[in-house]
Amino acid sequence: MPLAHFDGALAVITGAGGGLGRATALALAERGATVVAADIDLPAAERTVELAKAAGSGGTAHRVDVSDAAAMAAFAAEVRESHRVPDIVVNNAGIAVTGSFLDTGVADWERIIGVNLWGVVHGSRLFGRQMVERVNALPAKPDKPNFGGHIVNIASAAGFAPSRELPAYCTTKAAVVMLSECLRAELAGSRIGVTAVCPGFVATSIVRNSTFVGVSADEARRLRERGDRALKARRYPPEKVAERIVAAIVKNKAVVPVNFEGHLFHALSRVSPGSLRMLARVPAALR
């Protein structure tokens, strides 16, 4: 049974200091959820909580590095002790590394896998276990089965489409989609929903904060500015993605492509994967 009512729910959101994480936290807060905003930038997370309170809901901010297993374990334990087991978890924290596979070093791979994949693994495993334990501890109600909660993992349209310029990013996001599908199958018996949300181009700061490999500092600056302008020109705000996340929780959707390119890449990955492979060969500058 999907979680159709957010009033009184407890929602944990990682990467909540801005962009999609903040928009999702506010969308849930506006519907009555208490938000636990986690981000590596504590002041940014605190600002999100201030905005959530202004929207009529309470919340707390936490500084967390999602790639740090021990830090995430401590965070999950603190949420349970200070609040309770969350009803909603949104594993949103993510970064991008841009450049060819041969230019992407081990340290770059470790960093992006740590945030984009391990962060999702830690959040899903730790809070998912709490949700399962809560369901098992409740008395059985055959006429009205206990609802366990909902986990949302933010993937990307890049998880469907290969790219010669984003091999590390695409790899981690494709892994998030598959992880979510596996977890959804495992947790269904505990009535815990799992959704992979796959946005296309969204006006966030992800390009401004990206690591560019294989190019000079000047070229990286130029590419960063061009990419940031392109995202702004797309005019698709994170608030629209947040609304899709809310709807996905209510309807307990499995995979949710968002905006035109999200739907396009998802459809092509199923009906014409060869076309995506051909597109991946074309440098971005020529598209």
Question: Residues with catalytic annotation?
Answer: 169
Burial class (CB in 10 A: 0-12, 13-18, 19+), 255: middle
Helix (H) or strand (E) holding 194: strand 192-199
Asked if 168 and 272 count as a contact pair (C-beta separation under 8 A), the reply is: no
CA distance 176 to 156: 9
DSSP three-state, residue 258: strand
CA distance 2 to 140: 18
Q: Which residue has tokens 């369901």?
A: 135
Please name the residue ranges forming H helices in 113-216: 119-137, 167-187
DSSP line for 59-117: EEEEE--TT-HHHHHHHHHHHHHHT-S-SEEEE-----EES-GGG--HHHHHHHIIIII
Q: Is 7 helix (H, G, I), strand (E, B) or coil?
A: coil
3-state secondary structure of 10: strand
